[in-house]
Amino acid sequence: MKIFIDTANLDMIREINSWGILDGVTTNPSLIAKEGTDTPSRVREIAKIVDGPISAEAMALDAESMIAEGRELAEIHPNINVKLPMCIESLKATKVLAAEGIDVNMTLIFSAHQALLAAKAGASYVSPFVGRLDDIGLRGSELIDEIMHIFSNYGIGTEVIAASIRSPSHVLEAAAAGCDIATIPYNILKQMVAHPKTEEGIRKFIEDYCKDKE
Ligand code: G3P
């Protein structure tokens, strides 16, 4: 499973990139606003750090404007894909952008119907939101299972990005479902590294080694 980081923070991106595990980056308007910047300039900076797909979300709400904004974002760097929110207008825009060779990441996916339609329109990626489904008492990870199953039935090449990841368990559930990509916040990536028994083991090895030298 490919690992993306879900952030617009450059220090976090640099840090995780240095671990040698990073395949790409997703941003969204909330994450960009948190950094006090704008999408075009931030994704330009990110492309200098990471060699992999970078999602830049368009703010337009009608197909024509989404297409225009999508073209502008895609112009910034060959690794940029255009994130569009799932709706009728974005399906229309996806068809046009995909025909021009521009990758679309259809975001705010909350059902398998939406994922299927996005794939049919030509989206390169769909982003089901696991945590936000859990927030309303549903099982977000079950949606990943369902989409993976449907896409495999028909050999659909659209990649599934497990998004709105809130815990290391969400990452494992995505991997168990055969999900193509998980986009993971910085704090969850740090949690994935840590294990109390590993830390205890390191301390003990050092202690024993130093004792032996006394
Ligand atoms: O990039 C979209 C996404 O991952 C949002 O996560 O935690 O705001 O639901 P969250």
Atom 10 of ligand 1: nearest residue by CA position: 164
128-183 pLDDT per residue, tens: 999 999 999 999 999 999 999 999 999 999 999 999 999 999 999 999 999 999 99
76-132 pLDDT per residue, tens: 999 999 999 999 999 999 999 999 999 999 999 999 999 999 999 999 999 999 999
DSSP lists the bridge partners of residue 109 as 128
Please report where in the chains the tokens 């255009």 appear, as a residue: 82
pTM given for the model: 0.96
d(CA 212, CA 214): 6
- CA of 165 from ligand 1 middle (Å) equals 7
Q: Is 163 in the pocket of ligand 1 (CB under 6 A)?
A: yes
- CA of 162 from ligand 1 middle (Å) equals 10
Q: Is 2 in the pocket of ligand 1 (CB under 6 A)?
A: no
**Quick check: helix, strand or coil at residue 100?**
coil
User: Residue 200: what residue type?
Assistant: E
* H-helix or E-strand spanning residue 53: none
User: Residue 208: what residue type?
Assistant: D
d(CA 115, CA 30): 22
Q: Is 173 in the pocket of ligand 1 (CB under 6 A)?
A: no
Q: Is 28 in the pocket of ligand 1 (CB under 6 A)?
A: yes
Task: State phi, psi for 127 to the nearest 5 degrees.
Answer: -120, 90
- CA of 28 from ligand 1 middle (Å) equals 8
* H-helix or E-strand spanning residue 26: strand 24-26
DSSP lists the bridge partners of residue 82 as 56, 104
